[in-house]
Copies of this chain bind each other. A is one copy, B any other.
Amino acid sequence: MNNYKISISYDGTRYKGWQKQGNTKDTIQGKIENILSKMVSSDVEIFGSGRTDAGAHAKAQIANFKIDTDKTEQEILEYLNEYLPDDIAVNEISKVDMRFHSRLNAKTKTYLYRINYTGIPNVFEKNFCYNTKADLDIDKMREASKAFLGEHDFLAFCSNKKCKKSTVRKIYNIDIEKYEKEVRFYITGNGFLYNMVRIMVGTLYEIGLGKRNNDIEEIFNSKCREKAGITMPACGLCLMEVQY
């Protein structure tokens, strides 16, 4: 029995997110587990570094699974890429220590959120960014984003109202970059609550539009979801990197 760590890219447009839900087969986890289970002729469970939302994407989601096989890492990679649909791909596989767990050992994650705000849709990236026509003040968003840095209770930035676990998370870095016709938000933290990135960006977006003052401190203090900005559409969101 070996423990394997894999890096996976996916275009999440037609999936209900990473995590298997009951019997639904339309999740990334479900797709990969089915193929691995056939490969080794027994049930395989694969552990992701975290859920990603329905419709959101990953450039390098990390997961691990334990199987007994004669195949080399390269052979497993080729087997998976042969049978996976063309919107899921395995980038790398490596044997790791049996104690490695993709979620429990993850130190930080970096998400990207993309907004094309020119009003002219990017036809090639239509599934990977939020298309809008808006006059966004990038400097205002950059300035406001500093309020997110450090450790905070992000309860107001979480869509799960029944969250019983700690909602304290630490944000290490936020870069807001203009890239051709887009603004791109890179957000690195030690963990993210349900919809947290999309609500953080939604709040900055409303600040950029001039619809909202920089009231992020107040939103934190309120611990009230309704005080924060909109949940941005999932299509613009991509898990870029998980660091260990």
Question: With a CB–CB cut-off of 8 A, which chain B residues contact A59?
Answer: 124
Min Cβ gap A86→B in Å is 5
Q: Encode A7-24 as 1/0 by CB contact (under 8 A) with B.
A: 001110000000000000
Of all chain B residues, which has the CB nearest A59?
A: B124
Q: Which of the residues B57, B91, B119, B131 comes within 8 Å of A124, measured between beta carbons? A: B57
Q: Which 7 A-B pairs have the closest CB atoms?
A: A89-B121, A11-B123, A9-B123, A86-B126, A89-B123, A87-B123, A89-B120
**A90 interfacial contact with B, CB 8 Å:** yes
Report whether B128 and A86 are in contact in the complex, using a CB–CB cutoff of 8 Å: no
Question: With a CB–CB cut-off of 8 A, which chain B residues contact A124?
Answer: 9, 11, 57, 59, 128
Number of interface residues of A (CB under 8 A): 23
Segment 64-79 of A: residues with Cβ below 8 Å from B: 77-78
Report whether B119 and A87 are in contact in the complex, using a CB–CB cutoff of 8 Å: no
Question: With a CB–CB cut-off of 8 A, which chain B residues contact A9?
Answer: 122-124
Min Cβ gap A145→B in Å is 26
Q: How far is the CA of A91 from the CA of B181 in the complex (A)?
A: 11
**A231 interfacial contact with B, CB 8 Å:** no
Report whether A123 and B86 are in contact in the complex, using a CB–CB cutoff of 8 Å: yes
**A167 interfacial contact with B, CB 8 Å:** no
Question: With a CB–CB cut-off of 8 A, which chain B residues contact A91?
Answer: 120
